[in-house]
Structure formats: structure tokens, C-alpha cells
Amino acid sequence: MNFKKYRTALGVLFLVFPMNIFSQEKGLILNETTQRKFDYYFYEAVNAKTQGRYDEAFDLLQHCYSIDSTNASVLVELGAYYSTLEEKNTALDHFRKAVKYDPANYYYNMILAGLSKELDLKEEVIDIYNYLLKTYPDKIDLYFELANVYGDNGELDKAIQSLDTLQKYTGVSDAITLNKFRLYNMMDRKEQAFEEIQSVIDKNPDNIRYKLLMGDLYLQDNQTEKALGYYAQAKLIDPDEPSLILSMVNYYEKTNNKTAAIEELQKAITSSKMEVEMKLQLLARYITVLRQSQQDVKTANPLFQSMLEQHPNNTQINMMYGDVLLLQEDKKKAMEQFEIFTKENPANPAGYEQMLRIALPDTTALDKVIEITQRGIKNIPSAPQFYFYMGLAKFQQKKYKEALSIYEQGLANAEFQNQMIESDFYGQIGDLNHFLKNNDVAFENYEKALKLNPQNLPVLNNYSYYLSQERKNLDKAEQMSGITIKAEPTNPTYLDTYGWILFEQGAYTMAKIYIEKAVEYGKDELSAEVLEHYGDILAVTGEKEKAVEQWKKAKELGSDSKTLNKKIRRKEYIKE
């Protein structure tokens, strides 16, 4: 049995409690020699556990158990091991015995109560807590635990009685009041539920928090008029209380008064009394309300500008403003806001990522992508995304060696949070080596990529296609390509690869079916390569005129095939 990953966590062990547990039984009485022997092995076990030698500790405890199977300390220690190893029945047996021989031990009882909760043995938990309250009347927090168990067990009146008892000791508290409110609601005694909150308000008439709580609870119960009444009372205490503003926004949204909700938010955001963090929360809510009511998001811009004037050093405002400008498709101004954020927060990846979000779709902005990712790598060298996108930009610039170097740097320096991202790096390295005519190295990296993520579809597609180009391992290529079309049966690239592999295997009829699917699903953006493949298959299956037609279309799309012109002229398929 291996305990190398064991961690002592007795306080959270959960064990089943037997109904006769409170009857104490006498343990063994050891003679002096045997007692000394027992003590020696027990303390050796404790020392071994303290030093992390858990296998040794377990063996020593078992030896102690063989000497005295009634010692509660040994039983608890062994029970802890078994419970950690998920051997609950064995742990249960040990803890039962421990409590049997030491029933007044508070600690052991709480362990047992915990496991009873886990195993949904509510009656046992109730018995334990009631016993402990009799034995330890000063442990008044047990009343709260007892109330929860009664509530879970459907004994709601008893749950409320436990909370009432606790309240006599502690006085009014939010936790007790809200739990009693919840319990009365479960019993469909709503009037009593709200009376419970009102009793707290009566004792604390100037406390705005309780009035807002009452209003929020009425609002949740769809009693909007009563909710508004309590909000009005709260407003008399402090009209600028941030929680009141949020409650009013919720009220207006609930009553479908979007205009009033927006006005409330505008008033709050421009207030000088509110903390900037709360304003940011309200701004986020404001944008949501604007979009839900299909109003122009540009309405928020003056509020952001006002916020930036009030809090010029809070770059979270810049980040949020940039996001809102993106919603407005104002990429230039959004980029300016993200630049400000990144300059002040160079070690935060969010700014660079948002700038890349703007730059990446624009194929004319590859230099900007490289500039952003260079800064990202400089300030956060462990972030893989910046190596990936820089490599991608270099790849699109056809700077294959530079791109390859970037991906290799990424593998050496980045911290990968999951294997799929690392797999993509090996996939890119494989593609780049293929472009650099290093196919053996490419295939080695594809294997590494698939070992990390066997479902990496782009790698499966490229690997299988390049194998078919070399006309080797066609069975393996067909298997890998088959995975891609099962995953994405309408992807024209994957269909073309599979069809071409079938062609190279001599399965021309099946090849034609898949290539025609590729043409059908890719009709809005057909590639010269797919059309040339289609022509090749048509030629081999005897449809030469149709083949020439497809080859000519491929030529119009700028095919760089070395044999295409000969195919058109001779009206026959020519192997490259």
C-alpha cells in the first residue's frame, strides 16, 4: 500500500456513525511491559508520519493495532489512512471502534458527523450533534449545524427551533435570520419569513443594509411594490449607497423599465462618492442593459471619458473602454486604449491579447502582430500564445526558418497549461519542416504532436496528406485522415485529403465520392488544389472532358502545379 501522496486531513474526514455509538466499552488493560512496547511503536509511527514516511507510519500503526485493537488514537490514525485511500468501509470500522472506546471525544464525533453528511446519513448526524450539545453545551455553533441537518432532513420546525436557541445565545445575525427566512419559505409560510427580516429591521431601524435586504427579497418574490417601498426607506437613509443603486437597477429591469435603469446607472457612474471598482461593475451592467434594449453602445463613451478624467491612473477603465470600442467596431481607438493598459501593465497578457484580437484578422498587419508578440515575449516569456502568433505571422510572411526558430523557442521557454497547446506547437514545427523540405523531421514532430493530442485534426490532416504525396504509409494516412472526416464531415480540406489518399490507394470510385463532397462543401471558396485533384480522378475514371474543365478552373485560380499544363494539353492524368 502506497501512501506517498497521503496528506493528514483528519478534520475533514467523513465517516458513518453507528446508532449505539454512545455506549462506552472498556479497552484492553496492558501490563507495564506491553504498554511500553505499544507506546514506543505508536510514537515511532507519529514521528514517521510527521517526516512524511507514510508507508512506514502505516506499518507501525498496524503493529500497534495488533498489540491493542481498542486504542482510540491508533484506530483514528488508521481510519484516517483508510479514508484518504477511499477505503471507506475499513475506515468506518476503525472510527466506530474509536468512538466506542472514547465516546466523549469531541474531535472523533465531529469526524463521524462529517462523513455522515457526505453519505447523506442525516439521522446519524442529528444524533451526533444532539449528543455533543448535551456533552459540550458551550459549543453553541452546533445549533447552526444541527439546523442545517434538520432542514436537509425535512424537519423544518426543528431546524427553526435550533436557530431560535442559537439566537438566544448570540443575538440577531444575518446568517441566522436568512436561514430562518429560507426555512419559512420552504414551509410556504411567507408571511412569517418576511416577519423574520422585519424583526431585525425593527431592532436596527437606521441600518440601510436590512432595508435593502428586505427589498431585494420582496423583489425576488415578485412583490415589486413592497420592494420599492423598502428601497424608498433605504433612500432616506443614504441615497448614494452603491447597493441601493444596484437594487434600483434590478428593480427597473424587473419591471421592464430599461430607460430608468440606464438613468440610474448614469447617475451612479458620474457620482464622485462611489468607489471606482463599483463604478466598473456598474459600467459593465450599463453596457449589458444598453445591448439588451438595443440602444447604441456609444452612449457609454462619455461615461468612460468622465471616468478616465476622475481616475486617470486606473487602467482597468482603459481595458473596459477598449472592449466597448471594439463592440462599436472602432478598432483604432480600441487599440489606443489597449496600448495604454499594456504600457502600464507590461506583465499582464490581457492587453497584448486584445491588441492581437484586432491585428490578427488583418493580413496586412503582420508587422503589427510581430511587434505586439515581441513585447509579449519580452515581458511574459512563459506565455505560449505570443510565440504561437509570432510564428504564425512569420509563417504567413513565408519566413519559414524564422518561424521555426520562434516555435522552438516557445517549446524551450513557455509554460504549457495543457498538452493540446503544446501539441499545436509540434504541429506547426512539423508544417514548417515540410515547407523547408525536411519531411522526416516534419513527420517526427507530427508524431510528437499526436502523442500529446491524438485528436489534433490539423496535424492528422497534414501528416496524412504529406504521406500521400510521398506515396508511403498510405494505410496509416487513410486511418488518420478518416479520424478528421468523422470529426468534421463537411470540412472540404479534410474531405479532399481523404479522397486523395483513396486515389493513391487505387480506390478511384470512393475517391471520386469524397472529392465531389469536398467540391460541394467548399464551393464558396474552392482551392486550385482541390479542383486539380478532382480533375485527376475524373481523368482516371474516364471522364476526360470534365477533367480538363476542372484543370482549367484550377489554372485560373493560380495553381502552381508543374504538370497541370501537360494534363490539359494531353487530356490525361500525369503523376508528379
Instruction: Read off the pLDDT of residues 120-137 as tens digits, 9 standing for 90 and up.
Output: 888 888 888 888 889 898
For the cut 90, the answer to whether the pLDDT of residue 317 exceeds it is yes
CA pseudo-torsion sign 130, 135, 140, 142: negative
The three-state DSSP-derived secondary structure of 516-552 is HHHHHHCHHHCCHHHHHHHHHHHHHCCCHHHHHHHHH
Model pLDDT for residues 324-341, shown as the tens digit of each residue: 999 999 999 999 999 999
Compute, in degrees rounded to 10, the torsion defined by CA atoms 209, 211, 217, 220: -100
**Residue 5's pLDDT band (cuts 50, 70, 90):** very low
Lowest mean pLDDT among 186-190, 209-213, 471-475: 186-190
Segment 488-535, tens digit of pLDDT: 999 999 999 999 999 999 999 999 999 999 999 988 888 899 999 999
Select the more confidently predicted residue: 406 or 310. Answer: 406
| 222 torsion bin: left (phi>0), alpha (psi -120 to 50), beta (else) | left
Kindly state whether residue 443 falls inside one of the protein's structural domains: yes
Q: Which of 139, 164, 186 is where one domain is finished? A: 139
CA–chain centroid gap for 265, Å, is 31
Ranked by mean pLDDT, which of 121-135, 154-168, 312-326 comes out on top? 312-326
> Is pLDDT above 60 for 18?
no
**Count of structural domains, the chain:** 2
User: Which tens digit of pLDDT belongs to each residue from 347-374?
Assistant: 999 999 999 999 988 878 899 999 999 9
C-alpha distances in angstroms, 144 versus 20, 161, 180, 444? 24, 10, 11, 62
Q: State the pLDDT confidence band at 112, using cuts at 50, 70 and 90.
A: confident
pLDDT at 429: 97
pLDDT recorded at residue 10 = 32
The CATH number given to whatever domain includes residue 115 is 1.25.40.10
Lowest mean pLDDT among 51-60, 421-430, 435-444: 51-60
Q: 369-398, pLDDT tens digit by residue? A: 999 999 999 999 999 999 999 999 999 999
Confirm whether 8 is domain-assigned: yes
Cell of 469: 504525396
Indicate whether 17 pLDDT > 60. Answer: no
Task: Assess whether pLDDT exceeds 80 at residue 91.
Answer: yes
The percent of residues above 70 in pLDDT, for the chain, comes to 95
DSSP label at residue 364: G
* pLDDT at residue number 496: 95
User: What is the structure's pLDDT at 141?
Assistant: 86
Q: Is the pLDDT of residue 4 over 70?
A: no
User: pLDDT at position 25, please?
Assistant: 60
Residue the block writes with cell 478598432: 331
pLDDT reading at 21 higher than 50: no
Look at residue 279 and tell me if it is in a domain.
no
Q: Is 37 part of any domain?
A: yes
d(CA 497, CA 568): 23
Alpha-carbon gap, residue 315 to 338, rounded angstroms: 9
pTM equals 0.62
Instruction: Record the cell numbers describing residue 394, joined without a space.
Output: 512569420
User: Is residue 250 assigned to a domain?
Assistant: no
Choose one of 75, 106, 139: the last residue of a domain. 139
Spatial CB neighbours of 66, under 8 Å, sequence gap ≥ 6? none
Dmax (CA) for the chain in angstroms is 108
What secondary structure does DSSP assign to 323-344, as a single string? Answer: HHHHHTT-HHHHHHHHHHHHHH
Other residues' Cβ atoms within 10 Å of the Cβ of residue 184: 19
Boundary of a domain, candidates 139, 167, 193: 139
Q: pLDDT tens across 243-276, in order?
A: 888 888 889 888 988 888 878 877 777 777 778 8
Which residues are CB-neighbours of 164 under 8 A, at least 6 positions away? none
Q: Give the domain range for residue 81.
A: 1-139
Residue 152 lies in a domain: no
Residue 555 located in a structural domain: no
At residue 302, φ and ψ (nearest 5 deg) are: -60, -35
